[in-house]
């Protein structure tokens, strides 16, 4: 996040940014179908996160709960986090063997901007689940993991 007035801008430090995201994730987002939080409360670098997406209505994902891992390295938010599905899923942007969301196949990671957040990533993945190329793809059995 960059705060600016006139010609000057202030870049919010990484830890402040992550604390903001943590607070927002803990409060719950929108309709409650997307959530995220820290994987390990003792991780002072705030690198390892867990996300959850409840599949969108009118798709093969409806009612399914998908777990993801997000890893924010020291260069986050200047560079995107790595994102990996823990729950098995068949989607165009997800590596079928590892569950990794492939940046070249996921527009938001490929065209990362500093003001994007983990919430934005999860919301976009949910939106992509409902997109025509993913909405009807046969899915692995529920409760199976990478």
Residues 119/21, Cβ–Cβ less than 8 Å:
yes
Q: The pTM is what? A: 0.90
Task: Give 41-84 pLDDT, tens digit per residue.
Answer: 888 999 999 999 999 999 999 999 999 999 999 999 999 999 99
Q: What is the pLDDT of residue 6?
A: 53
- pLDDT greater than 70 at residue 2: no
Q: Could you tell me the domains of the chain?
A: 2-135 (3.10.110.10)
Q: Can you tell me the distance from the alpha carbon of 49 to that of 59, in angstroms, rounded to the nearest whole number? A: 26
Radius of gyration of the chain (CA): 16
| Secondary structure letter of residue 72 according to DSSP | -
Q: What is the pLDDT of residue 8?
A: 63
3-state secondary structure of 23: helix
Q: Can you tell me the distance from the alpha carbon of 113 to that of 132, in angstroms, rounded to the nearest whole number? A: 26
Q: What is the pLDDT of residue 65?
A: 96
Task: Give 120-146 pLDDT, tens digit per residue.
Answer: 999 999 999 999 999 999 999 999 999
Task: Give 13-41 pLDDT, tens digit per residue.
Answer: 899 999 999 999 888 777 889 999 999 88
């Amino acid at each position: 996040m960059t705060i600016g007035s006139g010609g000057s801008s202030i870049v919010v430090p990484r830890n402040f940014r992550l604390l903001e995201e943590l607070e927002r994730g803990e409060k719950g987002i929108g309709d409650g179908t997307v959530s995220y939080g820290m994987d390990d409360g003792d991780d002072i670098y705030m690198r390892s996160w867990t996300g959850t997406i409840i599949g969108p209505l009118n798709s093969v994902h409806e009612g399914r709960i998908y777990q993801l891992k997000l890893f924010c390295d020291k260069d986050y938010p200047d560079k995107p986090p790595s994102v990996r599905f823990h729950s098995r899923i068949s989607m165009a942007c997800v590596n079928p063997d590892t569950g990794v969301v492939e940046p070249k196949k996921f527009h938001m990671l490929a065209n990362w901007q500093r003001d994007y957040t983990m919430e934005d990533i999860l919301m976009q993945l949910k939106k992509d689940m409902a997109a025509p190329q993913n909405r009807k793809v046969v899915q692995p059995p529920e409760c199976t993991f990478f």
